[in-house]
A and B are shown apart, each in its own frame.
Chain A
Amino acid sequence: MKRRSFLKGTLATGAAAVAVNAGLLTPSTVLADWNKAAFAAKKTDDALNSVYGSASATASGDVKLKAPAIAENGAVTPVTVDASGMSGVESISIMASKNPMPLVCTYDFASSAIGYVSTRIKMGETMNVIAVVKAGGKLFKAEQEVKVTIGGCGG
């Protein structure tokens, strides 16, 4: 099983699946360990398929993506995704469309968390930041272009 390879060395994460709402389990959330296929994907659609099993996300105004229009230093681009206006947010992923591996991070939420994430990401060049939110079994997204004056990869 594919699962086996993900289990090595991370015994502590075994409890993860327990906390996930049992009715909403998907293969990717059961695999609480690092999703190698998704992070190695070279295209945003492939990454989405690996994480959520689908790449069709609907643009939604309820997904509030906050990122700078111009990032002076691509290595530290602050990004905030606020989906607190939506109910039943299960997961948020952040992608940088032109990075060699677009998927930056994925956050899975239990019912005790609110659909909100703020972090800082690396961006190699001017590109779109895409926030994908899974709520009520459906995918929603928001996109914003960030102009990068100094690249953050390979520097």
Chain B
Amino acid sequence: MSIKIRMRGKSKGGVAEVKALIKHPMESGARMNKKTGKPYPAKFIDTVKVLVNGTEAVNAQWSGAVSANPYMAVQLKANAGDEVKIVLTDNTGEAGEETLKLK
């Protein structure tokens, strides 16, 4: 199962703001299960990359302190028609990607 990403982006005067909503529990590994007294196992997205036309523009590292179902917005030097791709993986190796053609 891959991680679901919803993204939107628009270019204005050579600068594109790309927003993404990611569906993910972002379990930090510190939250306790009160019934068993054991922590919920960590499961969070740790690397996120944003590529413009196949070239890496942003390389992010996250911890479990990013909110569940993360929202992310970045600004890129890109024009309408450029292809923006988000690639991410979590600490368990699950991955997700999504591509968007800028308007």
Contact = CB atoms under 8 A, between A and B. Distances in A.
Interface of A: 9-10, 12-13, 15-16, 18-20, 32-35, 39, 75-78, 80, 84, 96, 99-101, 103-114, 116-122, 152-155
Given A106-B60, A109-B58, 19 more contacts: A76-B67, A103-B63, A104-B62, A105-B66, A107-B59, A110-B57, A112-B52, A112-B57, A112-B76, A113-B58, A114-B76, A117-B60, A117-B72, A117-B73, A120-B71, A122-B67, A152-B67, A153-B31, A155-B31
B2 interface: no
B66 A34 contact: no
11 contacts: A12-B95, A19-B59, A20-B59, A78-B71, A104-B65, A110-B56, A112-B52, A114-B74, A116-B75, A118-B19, A154-B30
Contacts of B74: 107, 113-114, 116-118
By CB atoms of chain B within 10 A, which of A12, A18, A104, A113 has the most? Answer: A113
B59 A108 contact: yes
Contacts, number: 127
Given A96-B65, A122-B28, A109 B57 contact: yes
Nearest to A107: B60
Interface residues of B, number: 39
Interface of B: 15, 19, 28, 30-32, 46-47, 49-50, 52, 55-68, 70-78, 87, 89, 91, 93, 95
A24 to B, nearest CB: 13
A76 B67 CA distance: 6
The SS class assigned to the A binding surface is mixed
Contacts of B15: 114
The SS class assigned to the B binding surface is strand
B22 to A, nearest CB: 11
B48 to A, nearest CB: 8
B39 to A, nearest CB: 9
